[in-house]
Amino acid sequence: MANESKPTVGQPTIEQVSSVPKKEVSRRGLLLAGGVTFAAALGIGHLERNSGKHGNVFIARNQTYDKGLVNTIRDGLASCGVDGTMFKDKRVLLKPNLVEPSREIPHMTTHPSVIIAAAEVFRAWGAHVTVGEAPGHVRDTEMALIESGVAEALADAKLPFADLNYEEVGWTKNRGKCSPLKGIYFPKTVLESDVIVSMPKMKTHHWVGMTASMKNLYGVLPGIKYGWPKNVLHHAGIPQTVVDINASLPSLLTIVDGIDCMEGDGPILGSKKHMGLILVGDNLQAVDATMARIMELDPMKISYLRMAGDRRYGTVLGPLRDRKIRQCGESWRSVKSRFEILSHLDKLRGKRGPLVT
């Protein structure tokens, strides 16, 4: 594993992202190998270990931003088989969605209360927690933090923040191999994390239909290498690069803010839709497939989900079919509610509703 993926940390340059840097190994050269070992101990899904296996998805209903989130998240992780004792002295990166924050549209970004609650859970388990984001539409990260309300929340909780758009970067081999990119640049904080927790907002997306935990990880890639928005990745193919990013990262978990959601012209211009849900999972593919079913979208027709579950593309990140996903907490059928989508995306719905296969 270590020989296949050797990150290097250095000053950012302007080389093409598909090229291989001259230096391939640094003091963190064995990082991904260590991350995968830790993932195996936790039972967290990763490329080799989760192919064909079941993913765990926890759904909680009647959730609010003002109480109970710590218990919900802790119980959700435990229900998914995550052992809190394994986090002692580990580095956990919480990655919310702060794409283009606006005080007038709070349902566009991950709510600060969900971020702080997640941090409290991992801190109680002895982890060193950092919140990090590389907003894809704004260069001023401080403004994004202030507009989203996250800056004040982090200050109150004394949580460190990593500006992933401007950090030193390291290069690692593209393990997904769905796009033409030979490798991917990740910020130092990402490479040095033992576990990355994707914390998306439950939203529709005007290009790919839905943005959830897998696509949220676009926001771990640095703007200094990929631009604002991440046009280099868009040109390499959005579904393909979503898969490649997820395949190339170390251990992953997800906690989805599905309380106040967005439908219609997401991920920025859509309308608020209240769902009152929190989703937690140890496999991002399984969580996103379940979320699609809740939104009454067919996960088999969402390009990056289909690609991430198809061996023909050389990468299987986790289960897509409902029968291979272990449901904890509420059933997705009991909470499903049709999300409005743009008309050109109607093809993402099954003829008689979402497929359950």
pLDDT of residue 314: 59
Residues 165 and 226: their CA atoms lie apart, in Å, by 9
pLDDT band at 32 (very low <50, low <70, confident <90, very high): very low
Which domains are delineated in the chain?
A: 55-348 (3.40.50)
Q: ∠217-223-224 over CA atoms, to 5°? A: 140
pLDDT of residue 233: 86
Contacts of 333 by beta carbon, 8 Å cutoff, 6+ apart: none
pLDDT top residue among 3 and 271 = 271
Tens of pLDDT along 76-106? 999 999 999 999 999 999 999 998 888 889 9
Q: Could you tell me if residue 353 is left (phi over 0), alpha (psi between -120 and 50 degrees) or otherwise beta?
A: left
Tens of pLDDT along 237-287? 989 999 999 999 989 999 999 999 999 998 999 999 999 999 999 999 999
Tens of pLDDT along 152-198? 999 999 999 999 999 999 999 999 989 999 999 999 999 999 999 99
pLDDT averaged over the chain? 84
CA 286 to chain centre: 12
pLDDT band at 309 (very low <50, low <70, confident <90, very high): confident
Residue 4 has pLDDT above 70, yes or no: no
How many C-beta neighbours within 10 Å does residue 164 have?
25
pLDDT of residue 315: 63
pLDDT band at 231 (very low <50, low <70, confident <90, very high): confident
Tens of pLDDT along 61-70? 999 999 999 9
pLDDT of residue 24: 33
> What's the pTM?
0.85
| CA distance readout (Å), 30 to 17, 108, 136, 144 | 22, 37, 29, 33
Residue 16 has pLDDT above 90, yes or no: no
pLDDT of residue 351: 58
Contacts of 14 by beta carbon, 8 Å cutoff, 6+ apart: none
pLDDT of residue 53: 57
Give me the mean pLDDT over the 21-34 stretch. 35
pLDDT of residue 2: 37
